[in-house]
Amino acid sequence: MPGGYEGKRGVVLGVANRRSIAWGIAKRLADGGAELAFTYQGERIEKNVRELADSVGSRLVTACDVRSDEDVTRVFDEVADRFDGGIDFLVHSVAFAAAEDLEGRFTDTPRDRFWLALDVSAYSLVACARAAEPLMEARGGGSILTMTYLGGERAVPHYNVMGVAKATLDASVRYLAWDLGEKNIRVNAISAGPVRTLAARSIAGFPTMEAIVEERAPLHRHIDSDDVGAAAAYLLSDDARNVTGTTLYVDSGYHAMGM
């Protein structure tokens, strides 16, 4: 694996189950020797996350409500205690929009649920980056990675407010890269093609999205969380030490096509 992760420490947000993109990344990093801390949202998935974390030897699993600055601060204080005040990377794989806003017209998105989607899916990266900054600075730098999607650049039917949230996330990556670069902290994103995750099941027409990608992508095949994990392993490694503020597409080339 590029660079290796022996002696590296990091935090992974967004694991829900074995099919999660965040788990594909975490497994790859753990296989490379990284020591990981995990967060989870809500009691419903706590058992899954704890079992997965235990399978890679993690000794810190904690709840995190990314809409609460106080909770984010608490989580990173726990991380600092666990990892002697420093971390090398942060994986942010967190997004949410109300199911009803991924079905009808984007125009009909109510104000409160619009801000909910942007808060959870985009501002949470800013909040977590701010909390992680001193922990990475203590290690001489670090790497932050988030998950985006082509729906932030182009209109994808039914993606709706989540597309707007991803566009906000994409811009946040670039501004965070500028702010944190002087601390030797890199910030990047992966834009993955359709992956059958728990979150994907809430998007109306997801099977159609998969079929279109298979038909029109240059490689004519789907991707899975292991593919994203491999790309993340590079972006989070020292081999990518001069890569920041960028988006790496893992979508069989679909993003390059006009039709």
Local confidence band at 3 (pLDDT 50, 70, 90 cut-offs): very low
Of 5, 149, 175, 254, the active-site residue reads: 149
Of 159, 175, 234, 249, the active-site residue reads: 159
pLDDT of residue 203: 60
Please state whether the predicted TM-score (pTM) of the whole model is above 0.75.
yes
Each residue's pLDDT tens digit, 26-70: 999 999 999 999 999 989 999 999 999 999 999 999 999 999 999
Count the Cβ atoms, other than its own, within 10 Å of residue 120: 18
pLDDT of residue 202: 56
254 catalytically annotated: no
Cα maximum dimension of the chain: 51
Q: Does domain 9-250 have CATH number 1.10.3470.10?
A: no
Distance, CA of 105 to CA of 103 (rounded, Å): 7
The domain segmentation of the chain, as residue ranges, is 9-250
pLDDT of residue 20: 93
Tokens 């753990």: give the residue: 30
175 catalytically annotated: no
Tell me the two tokens of residue 251: 């979508």
pLDDT of residue 2: 45
In what helix (H) or strand (E) does residue 11 lie, and over which residues does it extend?
A: strand 9-13
Local confidence band at 95 (pLDDT 50, 70, 90 cut-offs): very high
Each residue's pLDDT tens digit, 161-220: 999 999 999 999 999 999 999 999 999 999 998 876 656 555 656 677 778 888 899 999
